[in-house]
Chains A and B, each alone.
Chain A
Amino acid sequence: MNDTLNTQIANYAGAYQSMPPQNASQPATLPALSDQEQQVFNEAQSAWETFSNSEKGKADLQAISSMDVPEAKQAVAEILNSSAFAKLIQLLNSLDLPASSFSFGITMELELIIGIEAVIGVAIGIGDSKGVSSSEFLTVGLTEGIDEGALIGVQFGLWKNAPSDLGGYSWSSELDLGLGAEAEVGISYTASGGILGATLTIGGGEEDGADEEESYTFILGNQGGDGYLKPVYQPRKNNFLIITSMKCDSTQSDGAGNANEVYFTFQADGDTLYHYPTYDYFSMQSGDTWNCGRSVWFNNTVQVNVYDEDDTSGDDSIGNFTINLSDLTLGQTKTFNSTIDYSTTFDTVKYTINVKLVAQNVQ
């Protein structure tokens, strides 16, 4: 699994973790699958075996593991259009199912300090919702005993709600259908025990012995589920520093007042590029100090590039800083000067940063 997909899903996991704890009441009796639902899941399982064992299927799944969330959601949606699923789609269109949507998602597990199981998928309208717009979604839930960074399988779902209404909390309990270790059928329900639908999960799935699994689904592409894509979460590395402050000794003159609209990027060991602030900027004038307090995990080096945001002519570079582990002493703060030499230019822009090494060799 690539870092971009990890960090983007971490933002959704953070949004999920930010929500107040929920309690759910499992329905007194879990409904059995109807013959038609069983027929759909049987064909789905067969289609998945055909697809995932084909050369194209293997290549498509391998490609998804190196994509970001927007690319992955599109790629997953396209899988459902492949020939292996043609019979399944035909079946969904021919049966008189009480469900309103059918979902197909790739499941993956991530180690983000806590274990997260995620499903990136697409839901299409069937039954009463046939012909309505499909929805792409991301479902996240906590898990234990993860297989880090792996695409672990697939999940199919038959849902009472239309594709655009699948967002929010749900809980799932497994139906004991004797499908073996690699496949399981779960019944999903709301906090009050209202039935939402049924899922077939192949590969991974619920933990052994777990009576009830909570998850939260974001509908991607709508106003409530987007905008969490800029990376914030950082995977742990060997060393940890804090850019405790940034000082502006002299601003860059951009013709728009005497302040710079400052933000910076940081990149540890050439990996994911982060922005701070994640959005927007911090306005600074000569003499100002910004106690930004931005922590960074790194192994050997951190590159920090500072910019003056300029909506009209592009952002201006106003400082580059290269921090090497060998420059730092544990527990001490060091001032870094920009490696950009402005001495011969019109502006005498000058920014410095203070950096404190707070942990070393922790892995």
Chain B
Amino acid sequence: MSKHSIQINSIYCNDTSESGHDEVYLICQADGGIPIRVPYGINTSHSMSNDDNNPWVLDNLILNFEYEVLVTLWDEDLSYDPNLATYLQSNDFQSGSGSGSIQLTNRNGADYTISYQYID
């Protein structure tokens, strides 16, 4: 039933939600369906800091959706318990075209930029 596709190219950390690094992972949920975790696997994350000056380049992360896909950024605080994860921010992608980036911030200091490209 998917009609649209968007590729998440990279995530850049402008600032973290805590001192040091955020252990970032994404939960991507298309049309309220099964939530998919990125990086792939259980208890996996990508360590990020503005000091690293190094974007998280996502390898072929293509999200297919009919109406929307909600991408949520989390900071994993205790690897085995998502109940203790810190919500960073989220963005809901609907149909569109071209490419772009969106900056997501919260009052804990988290500041991330998601770069994306619509495929169809």
Contact = CB atoms under 8 A, between A and B. Distances in A.
Shortest Cβ-Cβ A-B pairs, 7 listed: A293-B92, A223-B80, A234-B32, A277-B87, A280-B87, A283-B107, A18-B37
A38 B99 CA distance: 60
A358 B87 contact: no
Nearest to A233: B34
B60 to A, nearest CB: 11
Given A259-B107, A291-B92, A279 B85 contact: yes
Interface in A1-33: 10-11, 13-15, 17-20
Given A19-B41, A295-B32, A284 B92 contact: no
A342 interface: no
Nearest to B43: A224
B68 A293 contact: yes
A114 B1 CA distance: 11
Contacts of A114: 34
A202 to B, nearest CB: 28
B35 interface: yes
A232 B35 contact: yes
A147 interface: no
B101 interface: no
Given A20-B40, A282-B87, A358-B94, A242 B68 contact: yes
A19 B40 contact: yes
A283 B107 CA distance: 6
Nearest to A288: B107
B35 to A, nearest CB: 4
A114 B94 CA distance: 22
B75 to A, nearest CB: 9
B34 A295 contact: no
Given A20-B41, A240-B67, A281-B87, A296 B106 contact: no
A137 to B, nearest CB: 14
Contacts of B106: 282-283
A113 B82 contact: no
B80 A224 contact: yes
B83 A17 contact: no
A294 interface: yes
A20 B31 CA distance: 22
A63 B91 CA distance: 40
A86 interface: no
B80 A14 contact: no
Q: Which secondary structure characterizes the binding site on chain A?
A: loop
Interface string A217-253: 0000001101110101110100010101000000000
A244 B92 contact: yes
B29 A292 contact: no
B8 interface: no
Contacts of A281: 87
Contacts of B98: none
A112 interface: yes
A279 B84 contact: yes
8 contacts: A112-B33, A228-B82, A244-B92, A282-B87, A291-B92, A293-B68, A293-B70, A358-B67
Contacts of B91: 291, 293
Contacts of B92: 242, 244, 291-295
A305 interface: no
B17 to A, nearest CB: 10
B61 to A, nearest CB: 11
A325 to B, nearest CB: 16
B36 interface: yes
Given A240-B67, A291-B91, A295-B31, A18 B40 contact: yes
Interface in A270-312: 277-285, 288, 291-297
Contacts of B42: 15, 19, 224
Contacts of A113: 33-34
Which of B32, B67, B74 has the most chain A CB atoms inside 10 A of its CB? B32
A359 interface: yes
